[in-house]
Every structure is written in C-alpha cells, then in structure tokens.
Structure 1
Amino acid sequence: MALNKYMHPRNIYRTPPDFGKLSQMYSEFSAISKVDVTGKITIDFKDPHSLRVLTKCLLKSDFNLDVDIPKDRLVPTLPLRLNYILWLEDLLDAIQRKDEISGLDIGTGACAIYPLLAAVQNKWNMVGTETDEESFSKAEENIQKNNLQELIKLKKNLTKSIISHVFTQDNKQDFDFCMCNPPFYSNLQELCESRSPARLPPKNGFTGSPQELITEGGELAFCRQLITESQEHKDNVLIFTTMVGHKYNLNVLIQVLKSEHIKHTHTEFCQGRVTRWGLAWTFKDYDLYNLVPPRDKPRKKHTPTIYLLPELANCENTTEAALNKINEMLDKLNISHKLLDKRGNKVTLDIVANTNTWSNQRRKRRLQKRIELCTKVPKLDPDKDVTENTSVNGDQVDGVSNSSDIPVLPKVIESQEELSEKNCHEYAEGSAHTSNNQPLVHAFFKLVKKENNILLEIEYLDGSAGKEGLHQIVQYIKNNWK
C-alpha cells in the first residue's frame, strides 16, 4: 500500500509530481518518460538513470537547485529527505528556536542534499561532514554551483569518530541540531538479503555505493556510537537526531536512551512503499516526547504477550530472582542477552538467538545418552570375528552373550566411531544456524512485578524464525521454570 497519505502534512509531495508538466519543462525528462495506453505519462522507476533525471528535475522545478548526481552514488529520495527537514522544523519550533539556525549533517554525501534543502528552504547555516573523498569533492561542486557557500560549509572526516572530530579546540561552533542518514547495513550479504520475500518488490531501482550503504556493525552500532559521542558533546548540540532504517533497531535505540534517562522522541517518515524512522534526543531541559509526540501512521495495534510466572521455590518472589532464573536458562540455550533497563520492579532484557538450541530437547537428551553409552562400550577390533571371546569389565564373553552386564550394541552397520561422531554432530547442531546476519530471534523480555505477581512481557522485534521462534523460547522457559 502506498504510504503517501502518511507523509508529513507540509510535504509538497503528498500530491504526486505532474510528469506531464516536467516533460514539457525539461527535455531530459521527456527523453526518459513514456505514455501508457491510458495516456498517462510514466517513467521506469527501476532504472537508476531515470531516477537520477527525475530527482534532478524535481530539485530544479521545486527548489531551484541545480544538482549533479553521480552515476555511482545514491540518488536521494526527495519526499523522504523533505520529511526529515520538516520534522526538524517541528522540533526547533517546539523549543522556540526560529532565527539563525545552525545544523550539522553527518555524512552529507555527494549531493549534499540535506544542507541544500535546509539552506534554500529555511536559510539555515549548515555544516556537512564526509569521509569519502569523491563524495566530498562532488558535494563542494554542488554547493558552489548553487552559490550557497555562505550558508553551507563542508568538513572532511579523517577519523573514526562520528561527531567528535567536529568539536576541536580550534572549532568551538555549537549547533541547534545534528542530523544523519547512516549506512543501514553491515556487509553486502546483509544488504542483499535485507528485504523479506513476503514484501512487495521495491518500486524503485537500486542506487548507492558501498560506502554510503555499509558500515561496520550496521546502523545499530553506528547509532549506538552516535549516542555515546552525544553524551560527550551534550553542550554543543541542542537536539541530536538520526534516521533509522529498521524498526527493530529503533526499538533497541529507544531502550538505550531510556536506560540512560535521556529525553527523546521519534517519528515515522512515510513515502511510497518505504517507511523510515526518525529518532531525536536531548540533554537540555526539553520534554521532546510531549513537545513533539511520536507520529506513527495508524496500523494494527501491537499487543504484547504477557505470561504470569509461577513463584520459584526456596526464594523470594522478586524480579531479581526471576531475572537470575531467566539469565540461567538463556545461558543454557546459548542465547545472548543484555540488560537494557532496570528500575524499581521493572527489568528489560534485549535477547538475540542465532541458533535454535531450544527445539527437540527430549530427542537431544536421548542422543546425549547414546553418546555416553557408546563411550562406555569397548572398542571392537574390526579385524576380529565378533564371535571371538571378548573381555568386558574383566568377564569373558563368548560371542553374542546375553550377559546383563553388557550394554546392547547398535547394529553393526556403522563403526562405533562413526556412530558417536554422527550423534555428537546431531546433538550439537540442534537446528540450522541463520543463513545470514539476521538472527533467528531478536526480542525484548520485560519482567514486571505487579502486586505479588511476576509478569513476563515479550516483544518480538525481528528474526528469520519469526514470532513462532520467540514463542518456542518462551515455551521452553515455561516448561523448565521450576
């Protein structure tokens, strides 16, 4: 379903562009457009060249910007970029900042699209940072081409920091806001496998270079670092913001901010078939959540699943005791877990399962017993006839004796070593590991004490095993709680 109606209310692209008018105004656009059987003028959205021409013509017609978009760089989606700018306007208006606004754009890209839009729309003073040499040079050209050098400055980032390199002893500049469109993915495989097969195919073609789309640890690690650096420079920026590409990462980052008691808010950026999210936080005395409440398009409301945990024997009925028990079981299942928040009678865990270690527990126990049994059986000499006398525990056994002291051997279709190796492999393997960087299950566990009851609230975030995988983990916890 197209999400245009959920765009920011002031976004001019809530009304789709008039392709007929663009075709008349720009010969370059006319060359890529075509007329369908109904007389409607369309373009091939899957063709990167067509996307570049469309974006270039829209920037010229709607903002009087002359922008050169390199063939090997990301083609900015204007409705999305404008959504971000308009949300920043809302945030600044809420804290009553209206004049001489200054902003920091992290990773400005070859088009320097955010500084250009901010400068022509609002006359904001912008600083754009960039790590890639080619993108930096092209951004300088686009700024000069539009005579916006007075409003836009560029700074090359030669460090591993995200914003710390901006605030040096020689540069004491402060900003009203920072903004960022971070790389979403940690590697090429994650990029290629990021879209669920259940979703409709993307309407637009693929554009962008690896340095624009990929960063070590993906966007989650990038945004975590940004939050860490923001704490070091809380006096230099009024409002920190970033775009987030994956909803489950937004949920994790919100929990990080909550655990640090940092005031924050968030929003949705909707356009076409794509949804992105905006996250803002501040260390100043602004209640962003109430000043600019989260803006989500209407959807089916998520109702968390809540379980009542029975009281544990021989210990107090507290969230601390329940947390220790759950940590113990998660460790046993080799499921990684991190404490995100712990306040009063409420505890939040971030859990990530990369391998299915919870299924077929009875089968695995049987296999383990077989392994233990096989290790106690004496090795058979393959060169000897099985009917020859064999000594077991010091007793003489004649051939296939029925002595009760002798374990029943498996069928001799496999050697003892082969059987043990096979069973060990089956036991250790459990279930296939996730085939890409996406975990099997990523979720929040929340322990809450209400009256004298301990409740386990689960919130599914993501994972190739789906919600069913999460419920299987919870079922294991319920089965083994006592």
Structure 2
Amino acid sequence: MSSSQRSDRHQAKPGGKGLHPKNLHKQGYDFPSLVKSYPALAPYVKANAFGNLSVEFTDPQAVKLLNAAHLKHYYGIVDWDIPEGALCPPIPGRADYIHHVAELLGEFEPFANRASTQPEITLLDIGTGANGVYPILACQMYRWQCVGSDINARSLENVAGVIANNPTLKDRFTLRMQNDRHKIFDGVIRKGEFFDVSVCNPPFHASQDEALKSSQLKLQNLARNRGETRPVAASQALNFGGQEAELWCKGGERMFLKKLIKESQVFATQCRWFTSLVSKVDNVKPSTKLIRKLGATDVREIEMKQGNKVTRVLAWTYA
C-alpha cells in the first residue's frame, strides 16, 4: 500500500468515561473541588434525582460557570467569561481533542516532562470563537504557541480580555481577524509562516432553524433523563449556547469541511497536520475521499468517547 493510501482509525484507551488517558477529567466532575476553586459555582450545584451532585445543564449560566470553574481549578485560568448566547463548549471534550492532537504530533508528555531542547509546537485554531478554549488548553497543558482566528470581532475582543488577565497566555496566545468570511486559512496564515497543526470545530448546521431544532431536541433529552415531560421553549433553546458562524453556515458542516479541505491543499507546505471535528458520521466518508483526491499522504479518523457520546476528529497531512 502506498503512503497516499494509508489510513488509520485511532481510539483512546479505556479510561473513566472513555476520555483520553491523560485527560484530567476522565473520572468525572469533582464538584466539591470545583466549588472550592470557584465559589460562584456553588449556588448551581445540587443533588440530582440519583443523589449525585450536578448542575442544571439546560441553564446557560450554570454551564458557563462550570466551564469557568474547570479552567480555574485544573488549568489556572482566571476571569474566563463569554458574552450571552456565545458557544460554551464542554472543557473535558475539548481537552480530549488537544490530547489526541498531541499524540498525532508525537507530543506524548505535558510540557513539564519535555526536554528543554524540544522545539515549541505551533497550533492554529480556526474559528476560536468567544471562548478561545482550544488555544487556552493547548497553552496550559503543553505550553504550545497558539493563534486563534475568527470572523467575529466581538468574539476576538472577548478572548483578548481573557488573555490580558492571564500572564501564562500573553506570550503564547495571539489572535487574528479573518476579514473574508468566504476564506479560512487565506488571510490568516502569513507568508513564510509554519504551523504544526490546525484545529477546528466547524458549524454543525445549515441554518438557524436547523440549529434551533437541534438545541430543542438536546434540551428535551436532558429533561427526559431527569424524568421531566415539559416542552422546551424556543427562547430557552436559543440560550443553550452558540450563534451564527459557531453553529450554522450555508451548506452546514459538510460544505464547511469541503471548503476547509480544499483550502488546506493551498497551504500544504505551511501546516504539518490539518484537523477538524466531524459531528456527523455521514460527513466522514465524503471528506476523506476529497482529502485523498487532493493528494494527502496520510489520513486519520480519531474516535473520541465521552460517556455514550462519540465524536470524531479527521486529520490529514500532505507532508
């Protein structure tokens, strides 16, 4: 088999809820420790129907504070916040993505265990949003040099505030505005610049209506798990987190991935590995087919598990 035909499915070893073995969150939520580190979370932590401590995951404020507590307790990040309505990605799953990327790059140990002579890893986050979570985690877990790009100036302003309040991020996390919403890498990667890896959490849906229906279904499933039968209001679903460009774009995830992959070929010599989350399994095959057609030398599907949820990272290189 030629190098251009190689393909591997990588899966994390069993650990806790299926998270990566190096993931600090693999044993579940430690609410007493989180509350101790971040007291603002305390009013939102209550015993659920099974007698276990939890938060109301349909409450955007509770979810946001849970994320802030995770970032403070495990990663030393202070004053993390996002504007109302912005996407609030769960920290355990996002940390998993970075750990898998580290393996992809051969970076098996956190920064403290690396030899001082090892070159620094550079990461580009496409669509870093108002949360900036991927670069924040990469900086704190592995001390990588990171760039976050976005088409939303307000989102970048919010992340800039977080960076300004955290000295460990100031020299490692920089932001770039993508002024053309029809482009991804073009206008962000500069001439003569090289990245070890790019990461991306693509918009899932093709329209606001599709995103709304998905959020309503998600909330109804959460309510059903608690034994509730009340309907979910549209306003509540809209507050679940995520705005335009974060949750939806023309053509949805499949079209975004197609654009991402095509543009990656143009920057093949300036990024070692291109990666992206793929939320819909039906989008993996056509994306992989296009990647091979464009001449990638290695394509990998990395499977990530958190409880019963399975997500995938598609990774490819032209090197």
Match of 1:131 in 2: 151
Contact 1:4 1:270 (C-alpha < 8 Å) held by counterparts: no
Contact 1:69/1:110 (<8 A) preserved: yes
SS in 2 for 1:238: strand
Q: Take 1:5 and 1:36, find their aligned partners in 2: how far apart are those partners?
A: 19
- What is the one-letter code of the residue matched to 1:59? L
Alignment deviations for residues 337-384 of structure 1 (CA, whole Å, 9 cap, x no partner)? xxxxxxxxxxxxxxxxxxxxxxxxxxxxxxxxxxxxxxxxxxxxxxxx
8 Å contact from structure 2 (residues 38, 72) kept in 1? no
1:149 is aligned to 170
What is the match of residue 89 of structure 2? Answer: 76
TM alignment of 1:27-46, pairs within 5 A: 27-35=39-47, 40-46=52-58
Distance 2:309 2:211 in 1: 16
- Pair 1:87-2:100 in alignment: yes
CA positional deviation for 1:202: 4.3
SS in 2 for 1:229: helix
1:88, CA displacement in angstroms?
0.7
Give the Cα separation in 2 of the matches to 1:84 and 1:198: 22
The Cα shift of 1:231 comes to 0.9
Q: Residue by residue, what CA displacement relative to the aligned partner does 1:427-472 show, whole Å, maximum 9, x if unpaired?
A: xxxxxxxxxxxxxxxxxxxxxxxxxxxxxxxxxxxxxxxxxxxxxx
The aligned residue for residue 194 of structure 2 is 174
Alpha-carbon spacing, 1:94–1:146, altered in 2? closer, same or farther (3 Å): closer
Q: Is there any run of 5+ residues in structure 2 with no aligned partner, and where? A: 1-14, 109-113, 226-236
Post-superposition offset of 1:198 = 12
Q: Deviations over 1:218-271 (max 9, x none)?
A: 111111111111111111001111111100011221122233442210112222
1:112 paired residue among 111, 125, 132: 132
Give the letter aligned to residue 316 of structure 2: W
Q: Does 1:163 align with 2:185?
A: yes
Asked if residue 20 in structure 1 is aligned to residue 54 in structure 2, the reply is no
The residue matched to 1:99 in structure 2 has which SS? Answer: coil
Aligned pair in 2 of structure 1 residues 172, 14: CA closer, same or farther (>3 Å)? same
Q: Secondary structure of 2:58's match? A: coil
The answer on whether the counterparts of 1:202 and 1:273 sit within 8 Å (CA) in structure 2 is no
Verify: 1:269 aligned to 2:315, yes or no.
Answer: no
AA partner of residue 242 (structure 2): G
Q: Which whole-Å CA distance do the structure 1 matches of 2:34 and 2:123 have between them?
A: 32
Tell me which amino acid in the other structure corresponds to 1:79: P
CA distance in 2 between counterparts of 1:249 and 1:106 reads 19
Residue 239 of structure 1: SS of its match in structure 2? Answer: strand
Structure whose CA Rg is larger? 1
- 1:64 matched to 2:64? The reply is no
Q: Partner letter of residue 84 of structure 2?
A: K
Q: Aligned ranges for residues 305-454 of structure 1 at < 5 Å?
A: none
Look up the SS of the partner of 1:7 in the other structure: coil
TM-score by length of 2: 0.80
What residue number does 1:233 align with? 267
Matched to 2:176, the amino acid is K
State the SS of the aligned residue for 1:62. helix
Deviation at 1:212, TM superposition (A): 1.1
For residues 76 and 58 of structure 1, the distance between their equivalents in structure 2, rounded to whole angstroms, comes to: 12
Asked if structure 2 preserves the Cα contact closer than 8 Å seen for 1:56 and 1:69, the reply is no
What is the CA distance between 1:165 and its match in structure 2?
Answer: 1.1
Task: Say whether the 8 Å CA contact 1:105–1:114 is kept in structure 2.
Answer: yes
2-structure distance, mates of 1:236, 1:279: 18
Instruction: Mark the CA change 1:254 to 1:53 in structure 2 (over 3 Å): closer, same or farther.
Output: same
* Deviation (angstroms), 1:11: 1.4
Larger relative contact order (Cα-Cα within 8 Å, sequence gap ≥ 6) = 2
Tell me the CA shift for residue 39 of structure 1: 5.5
Give 1:416's aligned residue: none
Q: SS where residue 143 of structure 1 aligns?
A: helix
For 1:141 and 1:132, locate their aligned partners in 2 and report how far apart those are by CA, in whole Å: 15
The one-letter amino acid of 1:162's match is: I
Amino acid at match of 2:185: I
2:17/2:307 contact within 8 Å kept: no
2:19 corresponding residue in structure 1: 7
Q: Does residue 1:279 correspond to 2:278, yes or no?
A: no
Alpha-carbon distance, 1:116 to partner? 0.8
SS at match of 2:140: helix
The answer to whether structure 1 residue 258 and structure 2 residue 278 are counterparts is: no
Q: Distance in 1 between matches of 2:251 and 2:73?
A: 39
Output the CA distance in 2 between the equivalents of 1:242 and 1:230. Answer: 11
How much does 1:71 deviate? Answer: 2.1
Query: What are the Cα deviations for residues 11-30 of structure 1, in whole angstroms up to 9, with x where unaligned?
Result: 12110121123334433111
Identity of matched residues, %: 30
Is the Cα–Cα contact under 8 Å of residues 41 and 66 in structure 2 kept in the other structure?
Answer: yes
Q: Partner letter of residue 74 of structure 1? A: L
Matched length: 280
Unaligned runs of 5+ in 1: 285-482
Structure 2 distance, partners of 1:236, 1:48, is 38
- Classify 1:238/1:120 alpha carbon distance in 2 versus 1 (closer, same or farther; 3 Å): same
SS in 2 for 1:158: coil
Cα-to-partner distance string for 1:139-197 (whole Å, 9 max, x where unaligned)? 111111112221111110001210011234xx421111111111111102322444897
Distance 1:151 1:182 in 2: 24
Judge which range, 262-271 or 236-245, deviates more.
Answer: 262-271
Query: In structure 1, what is the Cα distance between the partners aligned to 2:51 and 2:248?
Result: 41
Distance 1:155 1:118 in 2: 17
